[in-house]
Amino acid sequence: MSILTLRNISKRYGSLQALREVSFEVPRGSVFGILGPNGSGKTTLLGIVTDVLKADTGDFTLFDQLPTATQRRQIGTLLETPNFYHYLSGFRNLQITAAVKQRDEKDIARVLEIAGLTARQHAAFKTYSLGMKQRLAIANTLLGDPDVLILDEPSNGLDPAGIAEVRGLIKQLAQSGKTIIMASHLLDEVEKVCTHVAVLQKGKLLTSGPVNTVMVREDFVEIGSSDMNGLEVLIRQHPMFGNLSIGDGVLQVFFNGVVDPGELNSWLAGQGIWLNHLQVRRKSLESAFLEMTQN
């Protein structure tokens, strides 16, 4: 079953084409990252899915059904900014959400605990710091333990510890089998948690699918030695050598095929070069993304 299926969604704001014929599918159980620079249409897309924006053309389904309020009640969504009544406490704001979602109020204590807001739950929302507001918004999405979460820039406004917490939480939720649709411009964030991605640029879908097939990210080996010149000359003679780039005191070597680091080490030692640095690495999502969006 697909959680979300988009078919040729287009949306225009005046002269700006915010989305252009976007189609893709979010499978159940995936952590689906929607990537793109600021202004690429990520929030517009999620706004359409949650019915706060109307698409000009195209349609979509939620849980293979026509999207209505009933489907939205089964999804926990954080879109753009935390939207709460400033004069009400965090707890009372969540009471309203519980009533809208028709969920039991008993769950409020649990989600406030997860968000680390138990101590401040009875203080007015307007007294919260930016990070606390964001955490209340995350608590709001978790209310009623929905199977699907839509998170738009979930770590906005959080400090490094908060970002790590949210990332841990997302991983934990993903492991428990939930489907997570996440929009982000922080590739690092996506790289650490996503199983699938869709890449948007200026409203156009560049690609979508499982993260490892969509973004070609070959492994490379980082090596260093006290004799860097000798190492460079020697490594070029390796039978599977592809190409190399010189990094910060190390060589980044791409091979044609898989090379076992142990065998590589032994091969170099056999020729008289001893390594003081050896690490197998993977091209970052960021460089893969930049390559993709610059073409």
Partner 1 sequence: MLNIIRIEWLKVKNYRTFWILLILAIIVIPASNMIVADVVSRIPKQATDLLGKNFYDFPVVWQTVANVNSFTSVIFGLLLVTLVTNEFSYKTHRQQVIDGWERMDLVLSKVFWVVALSLIAFVVSFITAIAFGTAYSAFNFSFEGVQFLFFYFLQVLVSLSLALLLGMFIKRSGLATVIYLGYAMVLEQLLTVGVKHFFGPIGGLLPLQAGDELLPFPVVDKVLPSSADYGHGVYEITIILYIALFIGITCRRMLKVDY
Residues forming the site for partner 1 (CB under 8 A): 47, 50-54, 68-70, 72-73, 77, 79, 81, 83-89, 92, 95-97, 99-102, 140
CA atoms of 244 and 221, how far apart (whole Å): 9
DSSP character string of 239-290: TTEEEEEE-SSSEEEEESS---HHHHHHHHHHTT--EEEEEEEE--HHHHHH
Q: Which is nearer to partner 1, 114 or 244 (CB)?
A: 114
Q: Which is nearer to partner 1, 30 or 97 (CB)?
A: 97
Smallest gap from residue 199 Cβ to partner 1 (A):
24
The residues with which 179 forms a beta bridge, in sequence order, are 148
Smallest gap from residue 81 Cβ to partner 1 (A):
7
Smallest gap from residue 100 Cβ to partner 1 (A):
5
Confirm if 139 and 94 have CB atoms less than 8 A apart: yes
Q: Which is nearer to partner 1, 122 or 236 (CB)?
A: 122
Q: Which is nearer to partner 1, 83 or 287 (CB)?
A: 83
The alpha carbon of 161 is separated from its chain's Cα centroid by a whole number of angstroms, namely 18
Helix (H, G, I), strand (E, B) or coil at 143: coil
Smallest gap from residue 283 Cβ to partner 1 (A):
36
Helix axes 261-270, 228-235, angle to 10 degrees: 110
